[in-house]
A and B are shown apart, each in its own frame.
Chain A
Amino acid sequence: MKGINKRVTIAFVSIIALLSTAGVIALLELNDMSNDTQSILTASRRNMEIANSMLKSAHEHSIAMMHVVVFSEDNYRDNVDKAMESLNESLDVAITEASNVSRLDSLVASAKRLKRISDEQLEKIDTPDTIIIVNSLNSTTIIGDTEEQNRSLNNSELAMLIEQQQKKQTNSYEGWYDGEYKATYDNLISNIEGYMTHTHSSLAPRAEQLIKNTHRSIAPIFLTLVVMIAIMLMFYYFIRIYCVKPITKMNKALADYLVYRLPFNVKAELNDELKEMSDNIETLISQARQNNKPQ
């Protein structure tokens, strides 16, 4: 390869190499951006899952406690334990995956408080202030706080006392549920919501940065296009002055020779195929002249 052939080949190979490199880099940047987006979405989804799990567990715990405490349905005790266990598991997962564990302190504290007051109340239900012992068919002894309570009762008195005691108990448990438990529960819910929004707010700067850097995938292609246009303009100019112009000159000189017998005098700038062609044409013309000379 030499001359024009070489130059044109090298020019096109360079252009293709440049396009390929720009394309590869753009792909790499797009891949990075895609991975960043994926990680942000995954983090966000995970956060929502954990928060949802905690909310669900807290709600189940609340329902179960209401059944046990207010409606005295002991069969819901297992639900209470399961719900609390589920809440603690979700909390452990949140702590493990958190970048800044100290931000979960209030959430952990409110969950512990809920557990403590629930356990205390359940214990209170199990050990009431007054114990009624049935001694015989006709009389009942009450073992209570005061001596007054330590006496035998007949059936009607017993029935009235039990009713009074149950009413008293129900009122106090309802009061506890509506007061202390609900306040602690609301505090826990508020902390779970805080955990959810905080995690999202920490994702927001990453998402903003992603938006700002989006053009890093596009900028290489854009700049390559600009450079390509500049190179194509240069290529057009060089082809014009080193290929088209010499051919045009040779064509005109040949035409002048054929019509007017003017000397063929074309000087090529570069030592390439066009110079060879010009030299060959000169040789051809001089040979033709020699052949035409009378012997």
Chain B
Amino acid sequence: MRLNIILRYIGAVMICVSAFMALSALISLVNDTDSAYYPLLLSSLLTLLLGIFPMFFVPRAENITNKEGFAIVVGSWIIASVVGMFPYLIWGGEFSLINAWFESVSGYTTTGATILTNIEALPQGLLFWRTATSWIGGVGVVMFALVILPSLGTNKMALSSVELSSLAKDNYRYRTQIIVRILLVVYLGLTAVVTLALKLAGMRWFDAVNHAMSACATGGFSTKNASIAFYDSAVIEIILIGAMICASIHFGLIYGTFIRKANNIFRSEIVRTYLSIIAVMSLLIATALFTANLYPNIWESLRYSLFQVVSLFSTTGFATADTNLWPPFAILLLIFASIVCGCAGSTAGGIKIDRVVLFAKQLWVRIRRQQHPNAIIRIRIDGVVQDNDIVRPSHCLSLLILSSYSLPQLSTPCLDKI
């Protein structure tokens, strides 16, 4: 494993990160050179130097191995999270070392959790940087580098194969080199369309850009303390529902829909299942809310239930209501939504609906084999046979994710006793 090559490609990713920091500094400059200008400028210079330094010494490699590809992707994510702290640390305020790291990691992983008690107190440059980390993390830190840096050549294949999961690659049906382009075209296009729509719905440009980026990345960072509830606008909520659903569907299918390929969202079994679950869950929760008299009529109940269901299913995390006041049945359904989550090949996190469908089909096949022991029954999704190379890792990953949910529950009582 060649460390110098790994450093070179991580450096390429850092150059992209530095470009976004510079863009955030530009926004600070336009906003009467607010207090985030110098922190962002210096952070951009530091990150640029960190990124460009290996390039002075290390020549471009013709081929990189799988191991090196993994190391580059993992290293890029970790170092991006570390340099992502710099603007927060230099700016100060509520950002101690741990807080800054938390905010950076929360952004890049599109978790959307925050340590801030007053988001609106942040200068605009820093708010944009916060959203930018989420936007970069949504599609993947490495993916940006793959498109922006032409010098990567054939190594794009090795890196993108590591960045994208096997389930995600399944629906692209294109050569790897084109996959990267499709991903970014759909991502950028969706962000641009949602920005315009939100602006027309009444948001300021700055808020529209930030919320569009956050929705498309399914990150959930808002520029307001009350999140989307601040706007109290059904139009804005509908636009964001559309954005979050699109962002949580496989980008290859969205692309296929626009260019009228056979492989599109209407024909996808996964997407149909996903949208059906959203519809059913929203109706159930709306009924529960209406019977609990939390909202004056069924349409209001449906409005809030649909938004929250989509927000949680897509792992975005935007809020328009205080769900603590909702009945337990509704909360239980929302918890289920937050575990299952969106489709593979999207920016959504969680287990993914693909794996849940795969698991359900596996279960069904097992039951059928009990009835017909000699039958050869295969698991198919959209007519494509899913062999064990995809099914087994999928189940392992699902189990790993589920067990990671229980870890905080186990660790808290232990920590209390220390």
Q: Per a CB cutoff under 8 Å, which of A10, A18, A238 touches B46?
A: A18
**Chain B residues with CB below 8 A from A237, complex form:** 3-4
Is B4 in contact with A241, judged by CB distance below 8 angstroms? yes
Query: Given A21-B42, A25-B42, A220–B92 Cβ distance below 8 Å?
Result: no
Bound-state CA distance A237–B39 (Å) is 29
B interface, size bucket? 20 to 34
Q: Does A212 contact B (CB under 8 A)?
A: yes
Is B4 in contact with A238, judged by CB distance below 8 angstroms? yes
Closest chain B CB from A93 CB (angstroms): 32
Q: Does A242 contact B (CB under 8 A)?
A: yes
Q: Does B329 contact A (CB under 8 A)?
A: no
Q: Per a CB cutoff under 8 Å, which of A7, A216, A231, A270 touches B49?
A: A231
Is A14 in contact with B3, judged by CB distance below 8 angstroms? no
Bound-state CA distance A25–B90 (Å) is 11
Bound-state CA distance A220–B91 (Å) is 9
Q: Does B59 contact A (CB under 8 A)?
A: yes
A interface, size bucket? 20 to 34
Give the tally of cross-chain contacts (CB within 8 A). 65
**Chain A residues with CB below 8 A from B46, complex form:** 18, 223-224, 227
Q: Does B53 contact A (CB under 8 A)?
A: yes
Closest chain B CB from A9 CB (angstroms): 10
By beta carbon, the residue of chain A nearest B90 is A219
**Chain B residues with CB below 8 A from A29, complex form:** 38
Which A residues from 2 to 48 make CB contacts under 8 A with B? 7, 10-11, 14, 18, 21-22, 25, 28-29
Chain A contact surface mostly: helix
Q: Does B350 contact A (CB under 8 A)?
A: no
Is B58 in contact with A18, judged by CB distance below 8 angstroms? no
**Chain B residues with CB below 8 A from A7, complex form:** 56-57
Q: Per a CB cutoff under 8 Å, which of B42, B50, B52, B89 touches A230?
A: B50
**Chain A residues with CB below 8 A from B50, complex form:** 227, 230-231
**Chain B residues with CB below 8 A from A215, complex form:** 92
By beta carbon, the residue of chain A nearest B58 is A238
Q: Does B45 contact A (CB under 8 A)?
A: yes
Q: Does A98 contact B (CB under 8 A)?
A: no
Q: Does B54 contact A (CB under 8 A)?
A: yes
Q: Per a CB cutoff under 8 Å, which of A21, A216, A235, A270 touches B90?
A: A216
A-B contact pairs, 21 of them (CB 8 A): A7-B56, A10-B56, A11-B53, A14-B53, A18-B46, A22-B42, A25-B38, A25-B42, A216-B90, A216-B92, A220-B38, A220-B42, A223-B89, A224-B46, A227-B46, A227-B50, A231-B49, A235-B53, A238-B4, A241-B4, A269-B59
Question: Measuring CB to CB, which residues of chain B are less than 8 angstroms from any residue of chain A?
Answer: 3-4, 7, 38-39, 41-43, 45-46, 49-50, 52-54, 56-59, 86, 89-93
